[in-house]
Structure 1
């Protein structure tokens, strides 16, 4: 193919970073929401959005060029039809999704470190921002609104298997390790009234989980603690639940997480691994883009059950039960290898989907 002016323009347009960052900045500043009532000047918007008036003015003029905003002769800005989905109250809103301070927006901004991923095979977020994604999201207060706005309101990724397929009658206390905002634990305790539980996660999510547990009327049976699963875990729980955790971590760090669970569980406890498998099915639209995005964002988006078994073995664990599986979820119960080997409890028969 002959390289011509048109090809150069297309490539330059493909590589442009100003346009996507301008849109994401507009979403983070909630400019569309501020303009939903009446036209505003740059000064008025700067006061509303907590922005630098001079820089905001430059952003606003560029958004006019993009067709997201209009401006009149008096320098007042209004939202166009193209910009309407940036409003948080729009029926098809993408404002929170695109926000540079949103959970998904922050992941995608980390892709500026893609070269690091291609060279090393490692996720790109730390190369771009100096901190791993979950460490940043869970410790920086600026992301608390995003965690609250974008958090799960109901269980997903076939988490129903955790609640219904596992024999919870043998347990009384469960620690949801990396339990996010408490959605899964709340549903688990609601369905199994004999259970007591705790969410363990980093500070931002632990605070949100505690509040949601109280709002659900479960404060007498549940709570949340701020801690890292890379540190020693609290003891005394019957089940240490890991739901959708290991895909975000390398094999080495996943083994550390499993080993910490094993040490806390001791010979009497169990580790229930409910891993999520993010495979891109053949024929998926934009499959190559999605595969690249997942590989650059997560160390291991999908592991086979055999690979998960091997991780457990490396952490000193042995499978004592294999639950049903779906294309996106598997269930494995582990106990300490030496306990299983001495016959303290015979392995239960595997269940099948």
Structure 2
């Protein structure tokens, strides 16, 4: 760094430089992919030892770790010896929040993040860029590559009982008999529902690949759970009817036209007097200034654009989407906080008009 660049510390220029830095996000993903934190914890604390453990070039790896030490992921003790900070420990393979698996470039989300290299095209067209990079849309790719699909299921199950507890407790299940969880693989949210409300029986509906994995998972965990699993496409007529159709973090994956089609199929599957219940990401509070919650909302929104063409919606947008499918929002519970994830959920109940 030159003396002329140092004068920008704490200024708008310094803020801009930190925002446009692609080095740190990619360095983190490479560290996660190479499991550098785990290797350090196992005793490989020098660049040579880490290079030997990961099959990497020692000089290049030293430069990578040195950068991550500069930004606070690792720390250098004795010269040339590195250890994880509290931030770096989040990248341990067995850490409960599973951040290594979210970032690793050989796992679904880290792999999908590379589609941001074509963000300009997504902004110009409004269409996802994942398919242009990998040759298949995101969900088709997960279905075609079993290891990716299984890895995605494991990510969705991260701390699931704690994540689901608050949204499940926030809804009145007393009048519900049968829940059809559409797009519900790997089944964790519905499991939480039937544990909370034992009188409820459930059905998970998802594409055949995810449905098969969910069936095996649920059988292994509790073969007596009152949950069936059905393989089907939710753009087709649903083969199951229920008095409550659940869509848990599903519609954010789809643009408005497709989301409306899914809602129409769900409406057709309702028993008389039935309701549709959405669990989605809550929008930031309207009276708040730009905050961490705004950032989590917008980061997910941008990922939906690039990965899938979907979007994270505001309450006003949910109301409009419901109306386009002949539904009305009959209740909205927000925000619902979880001690495990740094953002809020909302529950949106819809009924046929």
Give 1:109-148 correspondences, 5 Å limit: 109-122=114-127, 125-126=130-131, 129=134, 131-137=136-142, 139-143=144-148, 144-148=150-154
The aligned counterpart of 1:223 is: 228
2:168, 2:192 within 8 Å by CA — same for their partners in 1? no
Aligned match for 1:151, one of 130, 150, 157: 157
Q: Give 5+ residue unaligned stretches, structure 2.
A: 305-309, 336-344
The aligned counterpart of 1:181 is: 186
Distance change (3 Å), C-alpha of 1:178 and 1:162: farther
1:125, 1:297 within 8 Å by CA — same for their partners in 2? no
The aligned counterpart of 1:285 is: 291
The aligned counterpart of 1:32 is: 37
The reply to whether residue 301 of structure 1 matches residue 305 of structure 2 is no
1:219-242 per-residue CA deviation (whole Å, 9 max, x = no partner) reads: 452132343322332134343222
Distance change (3 Å), C-alpha of 1:166 and 1:309: farther
The aligned counterpart of 1:63 is: 64
CA positional deviation for 1:174? 2.6
1:210, 1:224 within 8 Å by CA — same for their partners in 2? yes
1:261, 1:271 within 8 Å by CA — same for their partners in 2? no
The aligned counterpart of 1:80 is: 83
Q: Give 5+ residue unaligned stretches, structure 1.
A: 47-52, 338-353
1:101, 1:142 within 8 Å by CA — same for their partners in 2? no
2:207, 2:232 within 8 Å by CA — same for their partners in 1? yes
1:238, 1:269 within 8 Å by CA — same for their partners in 2? yes
After superposition, the CA RMSD in angstroms is: 4.0
Counterparts of 1:81 and 1:135, CA distance in 2: 37
The aligned counterpart of 2:53 is: 45
Distance change (3 Å), C-alpha of 1:207 and 1:35: farther
The aligned counterpart of 1:272 is: 276
1:100 partner SS? coil
Distance change (3 Å), C-alpha of 1:125 and 1:220: same
Counterparts of 2:263 and 2:188, CA distance in 1: 22
The aligned counterpart of 1:331 is: 348
1:193 partner SS? coil
Counterparts of 1:302 and 1:203, CA distance in 2: 28
2:249, 2:279 within 8 Å by CA — same for their partners in 1? yes
| Structure showing the higher strand proportion among its residues | 2
Aligned match for 2:251, one of 233, 236, 246: 246
More deviation, 196-205/246-255: 196-205
Structure showing greater radius of gyration is: 1
Counterparts of 2:140 and 2:282, CA distance in 1: 21
Distance change (3 Å), C-alpha of 1:232 and 1:308: same
The reply to whether residue 311 of structure 1 matches residue 321 of structure 2 is yes
1:245-290 per-residue CA deviation (whole Å, 9 max, x = no partner) reads: 222211100111112223344x647341324243233235356754
1:230, 1:256 within 8 Å by CA — same for their partners in 2? yes
Which has the higher relative contact order, 1 or 2, with Cα contacts under 8 A spaced 6 or more apart?
Answer: 2
Counterparts of 1:134 and 1:323, CA distance in 2: 30
* TM-score for both structures, normalised by structure 1: 0.70
The reply to whether residue 234 of structure 1 matches residue 239 of structure 2 is yes
The aligned counterpart of 2:341 is: none
More deviation, 98-107/180-189: 98-107
Aligned match for 2:197, one of 192, 195, 210: 192
CA positional deviation for 1:25? 2.1
1:198 partner SS? strand
1:289-315 per-residue CA deviation (whole Å, 9 max, x = no partner) reads: 5454233223331232x6445434433
2:41, 2:83 within 8 Å by CA — same for their partners in 1? no
Distance change (3 Å), C-alpha of 1:84 and 1:212: same
Aligned residues: 316
Aligned match for 1:98, one of 80, 100, 103: 103
1:194 partner SS? coil
2:346 partner SS? coil
Distance change (3 Å), C-alpha of 1:147 and 1:56: farther
2:333 partner SS? coil
